Amino acid sequence: MPKYTYVAINRAGKQVKELVDANSIETAKSSLRATGYTVLSIQELSKARQPLNISFLGNPKNKDKAVFCRQFLSILRAGVPVTKVLEMLTQQTENDKLQQAIREMQADVEKGSTLANAMAKHNKIFPRMLTSMVAAGEESGNLEAAFAQMETYFNKATKTKNAIVKAMIYPIILMVVMVVVLIVMVTRIVPRFISVFEQMDAELPGPTKAVIAFTNWFQASAGWLVLGLIVLIVAGVMFRRTDKGKHFFGWLTMHIPVVKLLSIRSNCATFCRTLSLLLSSGLNLPESLEMTAENQRNIHFEDAVNSARAFVTQGLSLNGALRNTGIFPPMVYNMVGIGEESGDLEGMMRKAADYYDDEVEQATQRLLGLMEPITILFMAVLVVFIVLSIFLPMLNMTKAYDQYLNM
């Protein structure tokens, strides 16, 4: 869709210069006028100057959605009408795609659409769960509560994701450093000694032969290695987007001993928190389970929740349905069973979510504590091996020379 750059006066009397997507320049003008803008100038942006628009890049993250909910809630509590709230958020939202969505939502609401229906048109920006919560809030007349709950949800989801990233980023950095050190040694340091070793009229130690052979192979194959690595990464990313790839990587994260507990607990936290929130909005259990499945990070948990939903629609209790999936730990379906017996499933799911949030944090700390020494030890062993392989021949030569002098 073409992009147009425009200069306009907004309802607050301030001049703004922004971009807008539209099928034609007339459509762009109509859209801006509908939001209360007075267009001063507008022109189509040349393709060379248009920002790179890749569908999966630039989408708002959970952190951006939490900020959106918090700002919407704060302004709404001040007694500002919804259309004015959207106009104000358009001016202060930093994410381009989110800003464009809010602007179009404002135009739809001003034409008589409900906020939930306007939001539903942007399902790639706003998850269905948020739209359903807003719809329930509009119907009950308590829109503030809906945005307050969703802000909490997005903040906790961000915290859980950050915990997982934190657990993995440090070992990855150490591995990158290790690879860089290895490349420098085999391309800069070891080659300087190879010519010396070749002139030595002595049998080289096994470690030295191994390092020399690896260095020669690496220098001869460096280009192919880089190309192979790029192909492997691209193929992995493409495979990850397929159904088989999602199942494979999902299975992998649930069976690698180091990350198994973290993966299971983070998915359980997401399940309990999402289900609790949707039930509190007034949705029935099958609908809540359907949307909960959409929010699971691991496709195996998504399949399990969909399977549980099918059992529930057939009349089985949620407790029994989750047991049949065989993927959830006993803690989850035991809490569900207590909630169903007490009639407070929403409350028990909220408590279970808090429990698993704490478990994710503790699992992160344990994972960091385990990965750090293992990675450092592995790196130290590799470097020491290379250094010894270089100095062993020199040491042998020095001993032979000393023996010659003592003869």
Longest pairwise C-alpha distance within the chain: 105
pLDDT at 385 over 90: no
Residues 327 and 381 in one domain: yes
Residue 163 lies in a domain: no
Residues 189 and 312 in one domain: yes
In the DSSP assignment, the letter for residue 18 is: E
3-state DSSP helix/strand/coil percent for the chain, to nearest 5?
75, 5, 20
Residue 53: count of CB within 10 angstroms of its CB: 12
What confidence score (pLDDT) does residue 326 get? 86
Residue 194 lies in a domain: yes
Residues 13 and 71 in one domain: no
Residues 132 and 250 in one domain: no
CA-to-CA dists, residue 278 to 117, 223, 284, 354, angstroms: 18, 53, 8, 16
pLDDT at 50 over 60: no
- Residue (of 181, 248, 128) closest to 387 by Cα position: 181
CATH number at residue 287: 1.20.81.30
Task: Quick: pLDDT tens for 136-150.
Answer: 888 888 888 888 888
- Would you say 65 and 295 are in contact if contact means Cβ atoms under 8 Å apart? no
Q: Grade residue 359 by pLDDT with cuts at 50, 70 and 90.
A: confident
Q: Which two tokens stand for residue 52?
A: 């790179």
Identify the domain containing residue 91 by its residue range: 62-154
Picking from 110-119, 159-168, 281-290, 320-329, which range would have the lowest pLDDT averaged per residue?
A: 159-168
Task: Quick: pLDDT tens for 27-46.
Answer: 777 777 777 788 878 887 65
Q: Please, what is the Cα angle at 146 between 144 and 149, to 5 degrees?
A: 110
Residue 52 lies in a domain: no
Residue 124 lies in a domain: yes
Residue 55 lies in a domain: no
Residues 37 and 79 in one domain: no
The residue behind tokens 């708002």 is 60
- pLDDT, the chain, mean: 82
Q: Which two tokens stand for residue 218?
A: 């690496």
Spatial separation of the C-alpha atoms in residues 40 and 25, rounded to whole Å? 13
The mean pLDDT of 126-140, rounded to a whole number, is: 87
What confidence score (pLDDT) does residue 55 get? 45
Count of domains observed in the chain = 3
Spatial separation of the C-alpha atoms in residues 61 and 65, rounded to whole Å? 6
Q: Which two tokens stand for residue 114?
A: 């409900």
- Residue (of 381, 401, 406) closest to 178 by Cα position: 381
The mean pLDDT of 205-228, rounded to a whole number, is: 82
Residues 354 and 294 in one domain: yes
Residues 97 and 226 in one domain: no
Spatial separation of the C-alpha atoms in residues 407 and 403, rounded to whole Å? 6
DSSP SS3 for 264: helix
Residue 165 lies in a domain: no
Spatial separation of the C-alpha atoms in residues 41 and 333, rounded to whole Å? 60
What confidence score (pLDDT) does residue 48 get? 42
pLDDT at 22 over 70: yes
Q: Which residues of 105-138 are buried (b: 16+ CB within 10 A; e: fewer)?
A: bbbbbbeeeebbbbbbebeebbbebbbbbbbbbb
Residues 231 and 285 in one domain: yes
Going by C-beta distance under 8 Å and a sequence separation of 6 or more, which residues neighbour residue 230?
A: none
Asked whether the whole model's pTM tops 0.85, one would answer no
Residues 324 and 407 in one domain: yes
What confidence score (pLDDT) does residue 202 get? 60
Where a domain ends, among 154, 181, 211? Answer: 154
Residue 348 lies in a domain: yes
Residues 149 and 97 in one domain: yes
Residue 162 lies in a domain: no
What confidence score (pLDDT) does residue 53 get? 46
